[in-house]
Amino acid sequence: MLDQSQQPADVGLSPLNLTQASLAADIGALQRLAAKAQPVVSAEVSGPQGNVRPLTIVQDPSAWMASDFTNGSAPFIYQLSETDILELRTSVAAALDQGVPQEGNLLKLHEKLIGEADFPLPKLGPKLKAMRENLRSGRGFQLIRGVPVHDWSNRESVIAYFGIGLYLGKVNSQNRKGHLVGHIKDIGHDLSNPMTRLYATNGAQPFHCDMSDIVGLLCLKRAKQGGDSSWSSAISVHNELLKRGRQDLVEELAKDQWYLDRKGEIPAGKLPYYRIPIFNYHQGYLSVNYSATYYELAQRHPEVPRLTEKQKEALSYFNALARSDDLRMDWTLQPGDIQLLYNHTMLHNRTAFTDHEDYNERRHLLRLWVSPQGDRELPECYADLWGSITPGNRGGIIIPGEQPTVPIEAE
Ligand SMILES: [Fe+2]
């Protein structure tokens, strides 16, 4: 059951204002960071992931800096081969030939494509699994180029992307409607309403993690201008705070006192907000959960404790580091590009954009939220948002009574 009582008029803040306020605060935070920056003298080091000790600098491939990828090489890009593309075309055509149940805009794709055997990718499948391992134990991000979306209808692209998802893990619902493939498109949702989920607008999205182990975006159309992506390593943000002598902020961000708003997508029996630390040390792993504006939005609930000055300072520094040139990687997705990120170690954002007049030419991405088997253990606090902490069966937005479905077009 959804809580329908969340009215925007109760809030009085817009995401845009929150974002602008955050950006202004970040400038000051960066200036203070620069002024206070100290060389690492005695910071303790641990790692890799699996052997991380709390409050130590994590030495791990996921703790990268932007300069690690500015030497001309791009090891994070995989260009699909002719064989890969032929496999995708063949499996999409086979699924269509055999028939996919459809009601209006909605495909029951999950009833048709249940496992890898239902969408054979004999050469590409093992490569996708190798990329998945690099997400989890390597740098945490991957680009795939060359999906032939220009040859396909939206229905064909959706089927291909869902089929690719089968090789990454369990594909999860992303919203209150049970969408297993999400459409990132400006469909006119009100940007001034703080309850609006920004993927249905043309607004900027500040740095955050998604509610799944892995998030994948397949670009179908680019915006007329803007809509660019950035990534930062959340593990590097953690490390940089320690290197700058701000262990106090790392300790603050690891406390169980961070409340986030659910934006009205509330499973039965749950509160309209949830609580989870930003830095989670658990069984030798550092997993990060961060969604920039959701902390401020949760302040609309009177029973949620007010953000302290220390918390505001910690958020400001965190955001400033994530946005800094040293940590941030910028990328403009082209049609046919897939961006894969591991949410436990990566942060992502996007810039605002101007779209085309023609609705069919507007910026359009397809999103997957995936939970792979054998993933890292997470602390119990994730279950309040993710439904479960069982690897391979966690994450997403699960509203009891909602049936999973796959929309062909944005709705
Ligand atoms: Fe996201």
CA distance 133 to 300: 40
CA of 58 to the centre of ligand 1 (A): 24
Q: How confident is the model at residue 16, as a pLDDT? A: 33
CA of 206 to the centre of ligand 1 (A): 9
**Is 126 part of a structural domain of the chain?**
yes
CA distance 133 to 322: 24
CA of 209 to the centre of ligand 1 (A): 6
CA of 291 to the centre of ligand 1 (A): 9
Let me know: does 128 contact 164? Beta carbons within 8 Å. Answer: yes
Residues 6+ apart with CB under 8 A from 32: none
Q: How confident is the model at residue 187, as a pLDDT? A: 81
CA distance 297 to 303: 13
**Is 349 part of a structural domain of the chain?**
yes
DSSP 87-134: HHHHHHHHHHHH---EETTEE-HHHH--SGGGS--TTHHHHHHHHHHH
Q: How confident is the model at residue 238, as a pLDDT? A: 97
CA of 235 to the centre of ligand 1 (A): 17
CA of 408 to the centre of ligand 1 (A): 20
CA of 198 to the centre of ligand 1 (A): 9
Q: How many domains does the chain have?
A: 1
**Is 142 part of a structural domain of the chain?**
yes
**Is 3 part of a structural domain of the chain?**
no
CA of 365 to the centre of ligand 1 (A): 12
CATH code of the domain containing 32: 3.60.130.10
CA of 121 to the centre of ligand 1 (A): 27
Give the residues of the chain that fall short of pLDDT 50. Answer: 1-20, 41
Q: How confident is the model at residue 321, as a pLDDT? A: 96
CA of 343 to the centre of ligand 1 (A): 9
Q: How confident is the model at residue 7, as a pLDDT? A: 28
Closest by CA to 294, choosing from 281, 307, 282, 308, is: 307
**Is 54 part of a structural domain of the chain?**
yes
CA of 331 to the centre of ligand 1 (A): 15
Q: Is the link from the previous residue into 48 a cis peptide, with omega within 30 of 0?
A: yes
CA of 348 to the centre of ligand 1 (A): 6
- Which residue bears the tokens 């946005």? 323
CA distance 147 to 255: 42
CA distance 173 to 404: 7
For 396-407, how does the pLDDT look when each residue is reduced to its tens digit (9 = 90+)? 887 777 788 999
Q: How confident is the model at residue 6, as a pLDDT? A: 32
CA of 245 to the centre of ligand 1 (A): 30
CA of 97 to the centre of ligand 1 (A): 34
Q: How confident is the model at residue 5, as a pLDDT? A: 32
Q: How confident is the model at residue 17, as a pLDDT? A: 39
Q: Is the pTM of this model over 0.75?
A: yes
**Is 252 part of a structural domain of the chain?**
yes
CA of 94 to the centre of ligand 1 (A): 32
User: Residue 385 in 3-state DSSP?
Assistant: helix
**Is 1 part of a structural domain of the chain?**
no
For 186-242, how does the pLDDT look when each residue is reduced to its tens digit (9 = 90+)? 887 776 777 777 677 788 889 999 999 999 999 999 999 888 999 999 999 999 999
CA of 271 to the centre of ligand 1 (A): 22
Q: How confident is the model at residue 12, as a pLDDT? A: 27
> Could you list the residue range(s) of the whole structural domain that residue 224 is in?
8-407
**Is 306 part of a structural domain of the chain?**
yes
